[in-house]
Amino acid sequence: MQIIDTHCDALLKLQLAKRGAFYKQQPLNFTDAESIETNYERLWSGGVKVQFFAVFLYPDLPDNEKWQHALEQVDLFYTEILGKNPAMKHIKRWEDIDALADGEIGAVLTLEGADAFGNDLMKLRQLYRLGVLSIGLTWNNANLCADGAGEPRGGGLTLLGKDVVRLNNENRVFTDVSHLSVKGFWDVMELADYPIASHSNARALCDHPRNLDDEQAKAMFAKNGMIDVVFCLDFIKPNPKDIMIPDLIRHIDHFCSLGGVKQIGIGSDFDGIASHIIDLENASKFQNLVNELQKHYSEDEVAGFAYRNFLEHRPGMNVQKS
Protein backbone atom coordinates (compact mmCIF):
# COMPACT_ATOMS: atom_id res chain seq x y z
CA MET A 1 0.00 0.00 0.00
CA GLN A 2 1.21 3.51 -0.80
CA ILE A 3 2.47 5.71 2.04
CA ILE A 4 2.60 9.48 2.40
CA ASP A 5 4.93 10.51 5.24
CA THR A 6 4.73 14.17 6.24
CA HIS A 7 7.91 14.52 8.29
CA CYS A 8 11.54 13.40 8.29
CA ASP A 9 14.89 15.02 9.11
CA ALA A 10 17.11 13.49 6.42
CA LEU A 11 18.23 16.94 5.22
CA LEU A 12 19.78 17.72 8.60
CA LYS A 13 21.70 14.43 8.54
CA LEU A 14 22.97 15.18 5.05
CA GLN A 15 24.05 18.65 6.14
CA LEU A 16 25.83 17.45 9.28
CA ALA A 17 27.69 14.88 7.21
CA LYS A 18 28.70 17.48 4.64
CA ARG A 19 30.00 19.71 7.42
CA GLY A 20 31.88 16.84 9.04
CA ALA A 21 29.78 16.64 12.19
CA PHE A 22 28.90 13.33 13.88
CA TYR A 23 29.31 11.08 10.84
CA LYS A 24 32.59 9.43 9.87
CA GLN A 25 31.29 8.53 6.41
CA GLN A 26 31.68 11.76 4.41
CA PRO A 27 29.44 12.64 2.75
CA LEU A 28 26.36 10.50 3.23
CA ASN A 29 24.78 9.04 0.11
CA PHE A 30 21.01 9.53 0.24
CA THR A 31 20.47 6.59 -2.08
CA ASP A 32 21.52 3.90 0.37
CA ALA A 33 23.29 5.34 3.44
CA GLU A 34 22.65 3.00 6.38
CA SER A 35 22.36 5.93 8.80
CA ILE A 36 19.57 7.61 6.79
CA GLU A 37 16.29 5.99 7.81
CA THR A 38 14.49 7.50 4.82
CA ASN A 39 17.13 6.80 2.17
CA TYR A 40 15.88 6.18 -1.36
CA GLU A 41 16.16 2.40 -1.20
CA ARG A 42 14.19 2.29 2.06
CA LEU A 43 11.49 4.61 0.73
CA TRP A 44 11.12 2.36 -2.31
CA SER A 45 11.09 -0.82 -0.25
CA GLY A 46 8.52 0.58 2.19
CA GLY A 47 6.06 1.66 -0.49
CA VAL A 48 6.46 5.39 0.11
CA LYS A 49 4.82 7.46 -2.63
CA VAL A 50 5.46 10.91 -1.13
CA GLN A 51 8.05 11.88 1.47
CA PHE A 52 8.23 15.28 3.15
CA PHE A 53 11.75 16.60 3.88
CA ALA A 54 12.06 19.27 6.59
CA VAL A 55 14.59 22.07 6.69
CA PHE A 56 15.50 22.28 10.39
CA LEU A 57 18.00 24.57 12.11
CA TYR A 58 19.38 24.12 15.60
CA PRO A 59 18.08 27.05 17.70
CA ASP A 60 21.55 27.90 19.04
CA LEU A 61 22.87 28.77 15.57
CA PRO A 62 23.97 32.42 15.36
CA ASP A 63 21.25 34.50 13.73
CA ASN A 64 23.57 35.62 10.94
CA GLU A 65 24.17 31.99 9.91
CA LYS A 66 20.60 30.68 9.88
CA TRP A 67 19.65 31.71 6.35
CA GLN A 68 22.83 30.20 4.94
CA HIS A 69 22.22 26.93 6.81
CA ALA A 70 18.65 26.79 5.49
CA LEU A 71 19.77 27.37 1.90
CA GLU A 72 22.42 24.69 2.31
CA GLN A 73 19.74 22.16 3.24
CA VAL A 74 17.58 23.28 0.31
CA ASP A 75 20.60 22.80 -1.95
CA LEU A 76 21.09 19.28 -0.58
CA PHE A 77 17.43 18.57 -1.33
CA TYR A 78 18.04 19.50 -4.96
CA THR A 79 21.49 17.97 -5.42
CA GLU A 80 21.52 14.85 -3.23
CA ILE A 81 17.87 13.78 -3.06
CA LEU A 82 16.55 14.88 -6.46
CA GLY A 83 19.74 15.19 -8.48
CA LYS A 84 21.20 11.75 -7.75
CA ASN A 85 17.96 9.76 -7.67
CA PRO A 86 16.01 10.16 -10.94
CA ALA A 87 12.92 8.45 -9.51
CA MET A 88 12.61 11.14 -6.81
CA LYS A 89 10.38 13.88 -8.23
CA HIS A 90 10.03 17.36 -6.74
CA ILE A 91 6.46 18.19 -5.73
CA LYS A 92 6.37 21.93 -6.49
CA ARG A 93 2.58 22.17 -6.52
CA TRP A 94 0.10 19.88 -4.83
CA GLU A 95 -1.23 18.77 -8.22
CA ASP A 96 2.19 17.26 -9.00
CA ILE A 97 1.41 14.31 -6.73
CA ASP A 98 -1.29 13.21 -9.15
CA ALA A 99 1.24 13.18 -12.01
CA LEU A 100 3.65 10.75 -10.32
CA ALA A 101 4.21 7.69 -12.48
CA ASP A 102 4.61 4.14 -11.22
CA GLY A 103 8.06 3.82 -9.68
CA GLU A 104 8.36 7.53 -8.90
CA ILE A 105 8.46 8.98 -5.37
CA GLY A 106 7.36 12.54 -4.67
CA ALA A 107 9.60 14.77 -2.53
CA VAL A 108 8.05 17.71 -0.67
CA LEU A 109 10.21 20.45 0.84
CA THR A 110 9.06 21.86 4.20
CA LEU A 111 10.33 24.27 6.85
CA GLU A 112 10.41 23.37 10.55
CA GLY A 113 10.69 26.72 12.31
CA ALA A 114 10.66 30.26 10.94
CA ASP A 115 14.11 30.98 12.40
CA ALA A 116 15.53 30.56 8.88
CA PHE A 117 14.03 33.82 7.59
CA GLY A 118 13.85 35.83 10.82
CA ASN A 119 11.59 38.82 10.17
CA ASP A 120 12.36 39.03 6.44
CA LEU A 121 9.24 38.10 4.47
CA MET A 122 11.20 38.48 1.23
CA LYS A 123 13.20 35.42 2.30
CA LEU A 124 9.96 33.59 3.05
CA ARG A 125 8.72 34.34 -0.46
CA GLN A 126 12.01 32.98 -1.81
CA LEU A 127 11.36 29.74 0.09
CA TYR A 128 7.94 29.48 -1.53
CA ARG A 129 9.60 29.87 -4.95
CA LEU A 130 12.11 27.16 -4.05
CA GLY A 131 9.20 24.81 -3.44
CA VAL A 132 8.46 24.92 0.30
CA LEU A 133 4.86 23.70 0.72
CA SER A 134 4.51 23.42 4.51
CA ILE A 135 5.79 25.74 7.24
CA GLY A 136 5.90 25.25 10.99
CA LEU A 137 6.31 28.62 12.68
CA THR A 138 8.49 27.20 15.45
CA TRP A 139 10.45 24.27 16.67
CA ASN A 140 10.27 23.92 20.49
CA ASN A 141 11.94 27.28 21.10
CA ALA A 142 10.53 30.78 20.75
CA ASN A 143 11.31 32.92 17.73
CA LEU A 144 10.07 36.13 16.14
CA CYS A 145 6.86 34.46 14.94
CA ALA A 146 5.62 32.56 18.00
CA ASP A 147 6.49 30.53 21.08
CA GLY A 148 7.23 26.85 20.65
CA ALA A 149 5.94 23.97 22.75
CA GLY A 150 9.04 24.08 24.94
CA GLU A 151 8.93 27.81 25.72
CA PRO A 152 7.79 28.30 29.37
CA ARG A 153 6.21 31.66 28.55
CA GLY A 154 3.63 29.94 26.34
CA GLY A 155 2.85 32.98 24.21
CA GLY A 156 0.94 32.95 20.96
CA LEU A 157 1.61 34.31 17.50
CA THR A 158 3.24 37.70 17.03
CA LEU A 159 2.06 40.10 14.35
CA LEU A 160 4.82 38.68 12.15
CA GLY A 161 3.62 35.14 12.81
CA LYS A 162 0.09 36.10 11.79
CA ASP A 163 1.44 37.62 8.57
CA VAL A 164 3.23 34.34 7.82
CA VAL A 165 0.01 32.35 8.25
CA ARG A 166 -1.79 34.72 5.87
CA LEU A 167 0.99 34.32 3.30
CA ASN A 168 0.77 30.55 3.69
CA ASN A 169 -2.94 30.78 2.92
CA GLU A 170 -2.31 32.86 -0.20
CA ASN A 171 0.32 30.42 -1.45
CA ARG A 172 -1.62 27.20 -0.66
CA VAL A 173 0.98 26.24 1.93
CA PHE A 174 0.25 24.27 5.10
CA THR A 175 0.73 25.94 8.48
CA ASP A 176 2.14 23.21 10.71
CA VAL A 177 1.14 23.31 14.39
CA SER A 178 3.16 20.34 15.65
CA HIS A 179 5.74 22.36 17.61
CA LEU A 180 3.61 25.36 18.61
CA SER A 181 2.62 26.46 22.10
CA VAL A 182 -1.01 25.89 23.02
CA LYS A 183 -1.82 29.59 22.64
CA GLY A 184 -0.01 29.64 19.31
CA PHE A 185 -2.09 26.68 18.19
CA TRP A 186 -5.35 28.49 18.89
CA ASP A 187 -4.10 31.61 17.11
CA VAL A 188 -3.40 29.45 14.04
CA MET A 189 -6.88 27.95 14.25
CA GLU A 190 -8.34 31.44 13.88
CA LEU A 191 -6.23 32.33 10.84
CA ALA A 192 -5.08 29.28 8.89
CA ASP A 193 -6.90 27.92 5.87
CA TYR A 194 -4.62 24.87 5.74
CA PRO A 195 -3.56 23.62 9.20
CA ILE A 196 -1.64 20.39 9.66
CA ALA A 197 -0.03 18.65 12.62
CA SER A 198 2.68 16.93 10.62
CA HIS A 199 4.01 14.80 13.49
CA SER A 200 1.96 14.76 16.71
CA ASN A 201 0.04 12.25 18.84
CA ALA A 202 -2.81 12.31 21.36
CA ARG A 203 -2.10 14.02 24.67
CA ALA A 204 -4.91 12.04 26.29
CA LEU A 205 -2.73 8.93 25.94
CA CYS A 206 0.68 10.52 26.50
CA ASP A 207 0.80 13.83 28.36
CA HIS A 208 3.60 15.54 26.43
CA PRO A 209 3.52 19.20 25.29
CA ARG A 210 4.26 18.06 21.73
CA ASN A 211 0.97 16.17 21.60
CA LEU A 212 -2.53 17.54 20.98
CA ASP A 213 -5.28 17.46 23.57
CA ASP A 214 -8.82 16.46 22.63
CA GLU A 215 -10.07 20.02 22.13
CA GLN A 216 -7.15 20.79 19.84
CA ALA A 217 -7.76 17.62 17.85
CA LYS A 218 -11.45 18.42 17.46
CA ALA A 219 -10.55 21.93 16.31
CA MET A 220 -8.18 20.50 13.70
CA PHE A 221 -10.88 18.21 12.37
CA ALA A 222 -13.40 21.08 12.28
CA LYS A 223 -10.93 23.08 10.14
CA ASN A 224 -10.35 20.14 7.77
CA GLY A 225 -6.82 19.85 9.13
CA MET A 226 -4.71 16.70 9.14
CA ILE A 227 -3.17 15.08 12.23
CA ASP A 228 -0.31 12.77 11.32
CA VAL A 229 0.83 10.37 14.04
CA VAL A 230 4.51 10.40 14.94
CA PHE A 231 6.83 7.50 15.80
CA CYS A 232 8.83 9.27 18.55
CA LEU A 233 8.66 6.99 21.59
CA ASP A 234 8.36 9.87 24.07
CA PHE A 235 5.12 10.93 22.37
CA ILE A 236 3.54 7.44 22.41
CA LYS A 237 3.66 6.27 26.05
CA PRO A 238 4.84 7.73 29.35
CA ASN A 239 8.18 6.22 30.36
CA PRO A 240 8.50 4.51 26.98
CA LYS A 241 10.14 1.11 26.75
CA ASP A 242 9.72 -1.64 24.15
CA ILE A 243 7.11 0.31 22.21
CA MET A 244 5.21 -1.84 19.71
CA ILE A 245 3.15 -0.87 16.66
CA PRO A 246 -0.17 -1.42 18.53
CA ASP A 247 0.94 1.28 21.00
CA LEU A 248 1.06 3.76 18.11
CA ILE A 249 -2.26 2.54 16.71
CA ARG A 250 -3.93 3.41 20.00
CA HIS A 251 -3.33 7.07 19.11
CA ILE A 252 -5.07 6.52 15.77
CA ASP A 253 -7.92 4.83 17.66
CA HIS A 254 -8.23 7.82 19.96
CA PHE A 255 -8.28 10.38 17.16
CA CYS A 256 -10.89 8.26 15.36
CA SER A 257 -13.04 8.35 18.50
CA LEU A 258 -12.99 12.15 18.21
CA GLY A 259 -14.31 12.04 14.65
CA GLY A 260 -11.04 12.14 12.72
CA VAL A 261 -11.07 8.90 10.75
CA LYS A 262 -10.84 10.86 7.46
CA GLN A 263 -8.15 13.25 8.72
CA ILE A 264 -5.45 11.03 10.21
CA GLY A 265 -2.16 10.32 8.48
CA ILE A 266 1.48 9.44 9.10
CA GLY A 267 4.36 11.76 10.06
CA SER A 268 7.14 9.42 11.09
CA ASP A 269 9.89 11.85 12.19
CA PHE A 270 12.43 9.32 10.87
CA ASP A 271 16.00 10.65 10.99
CA GLY A 272 14.96 12.92 13.85
CA ILE A 273 14.35 10.31 16.57
CA ALA A 274 16.94 8.39 18.58
CA SER A 275 14.91 5.26 19.40
CA HIS A 276 12.33 3.39 17.41
CA ILE A 277 9.12 1.41 17.55
CA ILE A 278 9.89 -2.30 17.30
CA ASP A 279 9.48 -3.42 13.65
CA LEU A 280 9.18 0.21 12.55
CA GLU A 281 12.84 1.26 12.62
CA ASN A 282 13.05 2.91 9.19
CA ALA A 283 11.04 3.64 6.06
CA SER A 284 11.45 0.12 4.69
CA LYS A 285 9.20 -1.11 7.53
CA PHE A 286 6.12 0.99 6.76
CA GLN A 287 4.14 -2.00 5.53
CA ASN A 288 4.43 -3.53 9.02
CA LEU A 289 2.27 -0.64 10.21
CA VAL A 290 -0.15 -1.18 7.33
CA ASN A 291 -0.43 -4.88 8.14
CA GLU A 292 -1.18 -4.19 11.79
CA LEU A 293 -3.77 -1.53 10.90
CA GLN A 294 -5.53 -4.03 8.63
CA LYS A 295 -6.24 -6.19 11.66
CA HIS A 296 -8.36 -3.42 13.19
CA TYR A 297 -9.69 -1.26 10.35
CA SER A 298 -11.30 -1.72 6.94
CA GLU A 299 -9.15 -1.62 3.81
CA ASP A 300 -10.70 1.73 2.94
CA GLU A 301 -9.86 3.22 6.34
CA VAL A 302 -6.28 1.92 6.24
CA ALA A 303 -5.79 3.40 2.77
CA GLY A 304 -7.02 6.67 4.24
CA PHE A 305 -4.48 6.66 7.04
CA ALA A 306 -1.68 5.58 4.70
CA TYR A 307 -2.17 8.13 1.93
CA ARG A 308 -5.69 8.99 0.79
CA ASN A 309 -6.74 11.22 3.69
CA PHE A 310 -3.79 13.43 2.89
CA LEU A 311 -4.62 13.54 -0.81
CA GLU A 312 -8.13 14.69 0.04
CA HIS A 313 -6.89 17.48 2.31
CA ARG A 314 -4.20 19.11 0.18
CA PRO A 315 -4.36 22.92 0.22
CA GLY A 316 -6.74 24.19 -2.44
CA MET A 317 -7.50 20.74 -3.81
CA ASN A 318 -11.30 20.70 -3.37
CA VAL A 319 -11.11 19.56 0.23
CA GLN A 320 -13.73 16.99 1.14
CA LYS A 321 -15.59 17.69 4.35
CA SER A 322 -15.27 14.92 6.90
Domains of the chain: which residue ranges? 3-311
Compute the distance between CA of residue 258 and CA of residue 29 in angstroms, rounded to an integer. 42
**Rama region for 316: left / alpha / beta (φ>0; ψ in -120 to 50; rest):** left
pLDDT in tens, 59-83: 999 999 999 999 999 999 999 999 9
Question: pTM of this prediction?
Answer: 0.96
pLDDT for 252 equals: 99
What class, spelled out in words, does domain 3-311 have in CATH? alpha beta
pLDDT for 27 equals: 78
For a pLDDT cut of 90, what percent of the chain falls above it? 94
Count the neighbouring beta carbons within 10 Å of the beta carbon of residue 162: 18
pLDDT band at residue 287, thresholds of 50, 70 and 90? Answer: very high
Is residue 24 scored above 70 in pLDDT? Answer: no
pLDDT band at residue 23, thresholds of 50, 70 and 90? Answer: low
**Average pLDDT of span 172-189:** 98
For a pLDDT cut of 70, what percent of the chain falls above it? 97
Task: Calculate the average pLDDT of the chain.
Answer: 96
